[in-house]
Amino acid sequence: MDLNIQGRKALVTGADSGIGFATVRQLLAEGVIVVMSDLDQDVLDAAAAKLDAKEGQLHAFAADVSDTSSVQALKKHVAEAVGEIDILVQGAGIHGPDGLFHEIDEAGWQRTLDVNLMGPMRVLQAFLSDLRSGGWGRLVFISSEDAVQPYDDELPYCAAKAGLLSVARGCLVATPRKDCW
């Protein structure tokens, strides 16, 4: 497949496994310079070692999207390694606690919303200037059917993904005015 993105630079969060890892693999195959990020540097390095990347095409930096200072450190590492990014794929997330609404405590809600909703907001705020600077930037939020079809025993996760969907739609609406982008 040729997505016509060869030579672009991408950051993928939640990249050491699952959809994030598969996204990194596909971007590398398209000739993109990729920065992969996830929580644990050792796990991230092991994942990176499984990929077929040319020298200088793949970089890996650990970051916690629920921590603003960690996201700012990631921004610095990315800038030093590749400069500005063109593509931001936000895959970092957690499932959070299961249970009925009255069974889930505030800490469970807070952690799930902090990682799944506020995490992508932190990363987008840190890298928005990169995406805007070249007039081409692309943003991908990895979400779930839970954003539009909530399940009664996964409400924190569903609420976070619905919020993320709303932000994505809001940015699309704002694009012609350049308010979001």
Residues acting as catalytic residues: 157
* Contact between residue 8 and residue 25 where contact means Cβ atoms under 8 Å apart: no
* Contact between residue 93 and residue 142 where contact means Cβ atoms under 8 Å apart: yes
* Residue positions counted in the chain: 181
Strand partners, 119: none
Sequence-separated (6 or more) residues with CB below 8 Å from residue 109 = 96, 156, 159
Q: What is the CA radius of gyration of the chain?
A: 16
Say how far apart CA 81 and CA 60 lie, in whole Å: 10
Q: Outline where 30-145 has alpha helix (H).
A: 41-49, 68-82, 106-113, 119-133
Nearest alpha-carbon partner for 82 in 139, 36, 116: 36
Say how far apart CA 51 and CA 115 lie, in whole Å: 26
